[in-house]
Structure 1
Amino acid sequence: MNPFLDVALRSLAVYLFMFAAIRLFGKNQLSQLNAGDIVLLLLISNAVQNAMVGSNTSLQGGLVAALVLFASNFVVKKIIFKNSKIKSLIESDPVILIRDGIVDNVAMKKEDIDFDELEEAVREHGVEKIEDVKLAVLEVDGNISVISMDKKSSGTNYSHHKRKYPRKTHRF
């Protein structure tokens, strides 16, 4: 087999595996990387390098691997953009955590968010009490968005919270 075709097929296989693994283990973990997450990503990249290029350590082999990864990512994004069924399969949906000052405890438990983390997100948006939150949404990227009612002008204020800690994925 052509050595560059071999690199291309290996790279595509690793891309698809990593894509599935991130989906299974929680892509929302990537919204805020801590030191452990960065170490894990570096170790994974080192672990799969040989699986992609095999014995071909040439510049051309590395460029073919990188090109296949970029092209695969481009194709997947185009497919997700054009097909809503595939998009819902690959990406999670936003989850409402607070509506009109009422916390959805079932959604919080399902998403492994504790009350302290929710209160922290609300405070970081400049809202003192949960009762003053019109809507708080756990977005698909793992961040919490908060829309609060401005009592002075009867308008709505919007702010976006980057999660300090990624979603927890352990299940007991």
Structure 2
Amino acid sequence: MPDHIEVILRTMFAFAILFGGARLLGKQTIAQMNIFDFIAAISLGSIAANLAFNTTLPFQHTTISFVSLVMIIYVISLLALRSRKIRGLMAGKPTLVIQNGKILEGNMKGMRYTLDYLNQQLREKDIFDISEVEFAMIETDGHMSVKKYPSFEKVTRKDLHLFMEAERYMPIEVIMDGKLIQKNIQENQLTEQWIEEELKKRQLSLKDIVYAVRSSNGSLYIDTYDDHIHSPIDQE
């Protein structure tokens, strides 16, 4: 077999098993990653890359290595679901960096975490004055969770005694790319007749619709192919 054909076939196979492995291991692997997830991801990617183009490595050996690693990660994930100790060992534990408004230099030093980075992550939380912070914690995936002092918290409707009824519905997509999403319509006890009536009110047909959602208040939000915007503010 010519080398270029072999590389193409190996690449297709590598993509297929990498996709299958990611589906098996779940969404957490591709979300914000902790240390275990990071190591798992780069290891799987490295093996898949070698499988794709390194023709000097036996095909079956690389495949066995990939499948074995997927199974190891999968088994460890199952064990972590049942054991808090294993979760702590694999993912680590959150670390306080601010407690009662005081910066915990010892904890920061243990993580090699600088004041510059602390301030950067606070700014990403829209906090420019560190005196507003009562507690700040670095989670296992590296992002920061912050609790402000009560006097700096945002005012809510509850604080103002402005109570509202709970939303009646969860927003549901009913049309996408000019086609009805039958599964969503059936599962949420909607009817095509209701959708057709809503379209008629707006003098639209199904083929005119890019996207339509039954919103939380029961009305139908519709976006059409023709937006009637002649001078977009920002156009690619």
When normalised by structure 1's length, the TM-score is: 0.53
On the 8 A contact 2:94/2:137 being kept in 1, the answer is: yes
1:45 is aligned to 2:53:
no
Q: Post-superposition shift, 1:71?
A: 2.0
Identity %: 21
On the 8 A contact 2:100/2:135 being kept in 1, the answer is: yes
Q: Post-superposition shift, 1:100?
A: 2.5
Question: Aligned pair in 2 of structure 1 residues 155, 107: CA closer, same or farther (>3 Å)?
Answer: farther
1:138 is aligned to 2:146:
no
Question: Aligned pair in 2 of structure 1 residues 153, 144: CA closer, same or farther (>3 Å)?
Answer: closer
Q: Post-superposition shift, 1:89?
A: 2.4
Greater relative contact order structure (CA < 8 Å, 6+ sep): 1
The letter for the 2-side match of 1:70 is V
Higher CA-based Rg: 2
Q: Post-superposition shift, 1:129?
A: 1.3
The total of aligned residue pairs comes to: 117
Q: Post-superposition shift, 1:118?
A: 0.6
Which residue is equivalent to 2:108? 108
Question: Aligned pair in 2 of structure 1 residues 77, 107: CA closer, same or farther (>3 Å)?
Answer: same
Q: Post-superposition shift, 1:55?
A: 5.1
Which residue is equivalent to 1:57? 59
Gaps of 5+ in 2: 1-33, 157-236
On the 8 A contact 1:122/1:128 being kept in 2, the answer is: yes
CA RMSD of aligned residues (A): 3.8
Q: Post-superposition shift, 1:142?
A: 1.7
Question: Aligned pair in 2 of structure 1 residues 79, 137: CA closer, same or farther (>3 Å)?
Answer: same
Q: Post-superposition shift, 1:70?
A: 2.3
Q: Post-superposition shift, 1:87?
A: 2.2
On the 8 A contact 1:127/1:148 being kept in 2, the answer is: no
Which residue is equivalent to 1:72? 72
The letter for the 2-side match of 1:105 is E
- Point out the structure with the larger helix share: 1
Q: Post-superposition shift, 1:49?
A: 4.5
Gaps of 5+ in 1: 1-25, 32-40, 157-172
